[in-house]
Structure 1
Amino acid sequence: MSTVDERAPGAHEMGPYAATFVAGVTVRNRLPLDYSVASLRIVDCLIDGMRRGGADRERARETLWRLGAYVGEVLVRRAGAVWVDFDADQRAYFGQAVGVRMPDGRVWNPLGKVHNRFEAGGPGESLQIFYLTLHGRARRAAA
C-alpha cells in the first residue's frame, strides 16, 4: 500500500493535472490518450512496458501517479464520477489523498489501481477491465 503524499494535487486539481499529462505525452509520443474506455488498454500496455523495462516502484512513482490521474479522469468523463478528497479513514484505507465517487455513491481509487497493475501485472489488474466491470457508473441512454 502506498503512503499518502500530502504534496499531491487535491480533487479540484486532478482534471487539469491529467490534462497537462495527456497534452505532454500525446505531443511527444503520439499516444492516443483521448479519455476513451479503449485508451485504458494503452495505459495497461504502458505500465506493462515499464515493468518489462525494469522500472522500480520509486523510479516509476511519478509516472504511475500521472497515469492514475488519467484513469480517474476517464471515470469522470465516461462513467459520471467526480473527483473527491478522501477523508482520514479513506486515506488510511486507500493510501491516497484523492479518488473518485461514482453516481451511486461508491468510492474508487484509480491511483491505487494503477499501482496494483504495476506491482502485479496481468489481466486481473487490467485498467480497461476495471472500467468495464466497474459498479456504480452512469448508464448511458440507448440511442
Structure 2
Amino acid sequence: MTAQQATRPHAATKPMRWAADAVATMREGARLRLDYSEQSLWRVDRMIEEIRREGAPYAAVESVLRGFGAYAGEVIARRTGAEWWETGGDHWLRTPDGRLWDPVDEARRCYGGDGSLRLLCRDATTYRAATGG
C-alpha cells in the first residue's frame, strides 16, 4: 500500500461530516429532508437559489455551500463508488472511470448563478452507466 492509498479514507472524513451537518441543518432548520438521492439535489439547487436571491453575503453562507457541495459529493460517491481526495485543503472526488469532480466548488458556482449540483451528479453518474461501469 502506498502512502497515497493510505490517506484516501482520511480525505473523506471532512466532506462526510460536512454533508451530514447539511442534512441535519436542513431537516431541523428548513424542514427539508435530504436522503442522499439524486432527486434530492433538485431541492438543494433550489435552496441555494433562494439563498442567492435573498442576497446573503458569500462569507455568511460559505460553510452552508461547502456542506451542500459535500452532500452532492456523497450522493455521487454512493452512486458511483467515487472516492474523496484532498489536495492543499481542497476536497474533490475521483470516480472509478478516473474523472475528477469538485462538488464543493460547484455549490459555490450555483450560488454565483452558474452551476447545478443536480447536473453535476447527472454528469458524474450518466457516463458510468453509459459505459457499463
**Band of TM-score, shorter chain:** 0.7 to 0.9
1:131 to 2:121 alignment: yes
1:15·1:73 contact (CA, 8 Å) conserved in 2? yes
Partner of 1:74: 75
Partner of 2:95: 102
Shift of 1:39: 0.5
- Distance in 1 separating the partners of 2:110 and 2:32: 19
- Distance in 2 separating the partners of 1:40 and 1:114: 11
What TM-score, normalized by structure 1, do the two folds share? Answer: 0.74
Percent of paired sites with the same residue = 34
Q: Which amino acid is 1:105 matched to?
A: G
Q: Which amino acid is 1:62 matched to?
A: S
1:113 pairs, out of 106, 111, 129, with: 106
- Figure out how many residues of one structure are paired with residues of the other and give that number: 122
Deviations 1:77-136 (A, max 9, x none): 1222111112xxxx5xxxx61111101111110000010111124xxx222122112378
Q: Which amino acid is 1:111 matched to?
A: V
Partner of 1:6: none
The structure that is helix-richer by fraction is 2
What TM-score, normalized by structure 2, do the two folds share? Answer: 0.79
